Chains A and B, each alone.
Chain A
């Protein structure tokens, strides 16, 4: 438990132990929640800023709302006008959480326990006590929503003339803990700079980038999150954190403009980022920041790209090319390059045959990248903001990639000869086989998917947002980068001749077989990396299910390689396909995700046993 959380829990425990008198009003309770006013003062100064809070506690699974309730619901409305001594009262909004609702809807708010601090001024006439009365309307939701209306009252003692005010020992720290959760203005945080970028997409779509330079995520616990306030100009989708950032925290969020004209004029964006580390506090104290900024649509994609826009486009293409080249150093593509090099050495027909095979792989890599680009455009049309790296944020896609990477490792270990037949099995001479070489090339972009290399994450998303032509162009350059080593081998087939011959008349030489098997271990690190990603997206039992599927895949491979009973292998294969399919489906439909919407309520809050009345 983090110190702040522990302090809060202690404060809550103390608060729960106290009778509903003095610095707290009486609870108003209903089956889903209970609510009361709390004051930081046991004896308040007759005149001064209000130190009041609205405490709401919900039953497990239920939540109440932030100032932007998200796709549904509405925030609580507190009206202090029944108290003439209080002026300029308003609710403050601590950093919210995100809750998933059916139908890809989301709610922003609080589950368990929340204290909304109330800002305002108290001007009492000093008669010893004042009754703070407020009318509250709020909606408490699970998937169902129930509205409630209450008159809340708190009997506030005032400090006698000439006596200092007395803070309440339980409520003052509780209120301070929640005040500390209220976002502070981003510009007031030293060393933090917030930059907004709006990339217009097709039609009414756009992608907003919120980049906080100099910000660091809170150590431990869930990652930072971005919340936008409601806007009449646009509807916002789910933000995605840009992966692999070293300095700062960046989010990309798809916007749909509610006017058909789309993003043509500057728009005002009010945003909050939660779960940052408070500077100078060792990374363990949470900070939420907020700002209201106006952002104009970026010039990059505004008018098809002339001048600076097109040079930015060239930069993206070169980055994609570089990314494609660098991918050859990743644990899944390096083995392919190494094995292909050795294989070309052994191709019959000498340099000409090797050149033909290498060319076929290069063409396959290019074609595969274009196919992937088409797929990415289709996904982008449905989910603006998608770029390279989006596949690693979908548990289903990550599980599928883990299956593919496992299959690839098993292949290198010699347990599966197919699908790529990358590992030469028989004795040379191996005939040139352009069809198979093409298939190997086609597989390269798929094997590249686990790796969020920065040149690709930075360039492909904006290129996709700029439209179909720049998007496909960027993927073509990625394909060029993937094809380049093979094009070199095709141009100078003599390069492969410099390698030692991997096979002789007896088949693959032992050193070559050992090398390929060792490369299988390298490829297996990709599986570890993908399981690591999944461990942050799935519950532990969900992760175990995925791992069991991978183990079953390995078992099947071993049976295939050793057993001769075709029927058994076929039946197991079918069972495995079903298992793998259901695991991917379960992961994708988030049935294995951590149950965020039903986080346990703080145990120090007891269950209300009084039956409240829903509003008639």
Chain B
């Protein structure tokens, strides 16, 4: 590098530095859902675009997060997925492979089998998808409508500590799916997600 190029190089490093750690982008309701292509625990590939004419529910998941695991034990998600059979349910795990919470596919599958989870669990190894959606917590829920637009972004229900009986909770995803199927607007369309932080 010729010495005269030092300052432009410094300027360029500033660009790199400033862009190196973007905060998670929050995907807004009404915006196009960010596209993704991820592998499930069996290595099969799933793309959001595969389900272009369907409603898709995205659930950020982490078996080692007690809040995510509580919902798995209580069958919050599996029962809801069964209740809305026409909806594509995808769980996404954005846990960094260096983090203690990370599970190898075999262990992850064993957990899913134990909890009776039969929907696909996608591995977001680069955490790119998690950041594109602004996924903050496990669980963090999104509803993507038939047009590929985000219709809901937030918590699964109104009971973060799980202190109410299951049928006394307001399940926002259930309410959103019912409203959407009836041609109504999803309300509330946004809530504050709760749970463990996504282990980026």
Contacts and interface: CB of A to CB of B under 8 A. Distances in A.
Contact of B29 (A69, A147, A260, A584): A260
A360 interface: no
B17 A256 contact: no
Interface in B1-29: 3-8, 10-11, 13-15, 17-26, 28-29
Interface stretch (A240-248, A338-346, A372-380, A520-528): A372-380
B19 A72 contact: no
A141 interface: yes
Interface in B145-176: 153-154, 160-163
A371 B191 CA distance: 40
B38 interface: no
Interface in B94-113: 96, 99-101
**Residue of A107, A143, A235, A588 with highest tally of chain B CB at under 10 A:** A235
Interface in B168-200: 188-192, 194-200
Interface stretch (A10-18, A390-398, A538-546): A390-398
A419 B3 CA distance: 5
A232 B17 contact: no
A97 B61 CA distance: 27
Interface stretch (A19-27, A88-96, A98-106): A98-106
Nearest to B98: A102
Interface in A126-141: 135, 137-139, 141
B65 interface: yes
A137 B134 CA distance: 27
B21 A102 contact: no
Contacts of A446: 7, 10-11
Interface string A203-233: 1100000000000000000000000001111
A71 B197 CA distance: 7
A235 B154 CA distance: 11
A569 interface: no
B13 A258 contact: no
Nearest to A233: B190
B11 A371 contact: yes
Given A232-B192, A375-B15, A105 B198 contact: yes
A614 B8 contact: no
Given A69-B194, A375-B15, A584-B13, A143 B66 contact: no
Given A394-B17, A400-B14, A419 B99 contact: no
Contact of B23 (A104, A261, A589): A104
Contact of A72 (B134, B161, B191, B197): B197
Contacts of A407: 6
A146 interface: yes
A243 B192 CA distance: 31
B137 interface: yes
Interface string A55-76: 0000000000000110111100
A383 interface: yes
Contacts of A509: none
A605 interface: no
A235 B64 CA distance: 26
Nearest to A79: B163
Contacts of A258: 26, 28-29, 153, 189-190
A119 interface: no
A383 B22 contact: yes
A565 interface: no
B195 A145 contact: yes
Contacts of A233: 190
A584 B17 contact: yes
Contacts of B10: 400, 403-404, 446
Given A232-B190, A404-B7, A588-B20, A103 B163 contact: no
Contacts of B194: 69, 72-74
A382 B18 contact: yes
A420 B6 CA distance: 10
A432 interface: no
Contact of B197 (A102, A204, A235, A439): A102
B153 to A, nearest CB: 6
B190 A147 contact: no
Given A102-B96, A104-B24, A71 B19 contact: no
Nearest to A391: B14
Contacts of B18: 375, 378-379, 382-383, 394, 397
A400 B23 contact: no
B134 A103 contact: no
A109 B199 CA distance: 19
**Residue of A72, A260, A383, A439 with highest tally of chain B CB at under 10 A:** A72
B22 A73 contact: no
A257 B193 CA distance: 15
A149 B23 contact: no
Contacts of A203: 28
Interface string B124-138: 000100110010110
Contact of B196 (A144, A230, A589): A144
Interface string B79-122: 00000000000000000100111000000000000000000000
A491 interface: no
Given A105-B24, A584-B13, A143 B192 contact: no
Given A261-B30, A382-B22, A397 B199 contact: no
B7 to A, nearest CB: 5
A103 B198 contact: yes
Contacts of A204: 26, 28, 31
A419 B70 CA distance: 61
Interface string A380-418: 001100000001001011001001100100000000101
Contact of B24 (A103, A146, A259, A396): A103
A72 B196 CA distance: 6
Nearest to A235: B26
Nearest to B21: A104
B55 interface: no
Given A77-B163, A144-B196, A258-B28, A238 B66 contact: no
A592 interface: no
**Residue of B130, B134, B136, B162 with highest tally of chain A CB at under 10 A:** B136
Given A72-B196, A397-B14, A416-B3, 6 more contacts: A73-B197, A77-B161, A104-B200, A256-B134, A259-B189, A260-B29
5 contacts: A137-B161, A137-B162, A144-B64, A391-B14, A418-B3
List 6 A-B pairs, minimum CB-CB distance, nearest first.
Answer: A103-B200, A260-B30, A137-B161, A72-B197, A74-B160, A418-B3
Interface of B: 3-8, 10-11, 13-15, 17-26, 28-31, 64-67, 70, 96, 99-101, 127, 130-131, 134, 136-137, 153-154, 160-163, 188-192, 194-200
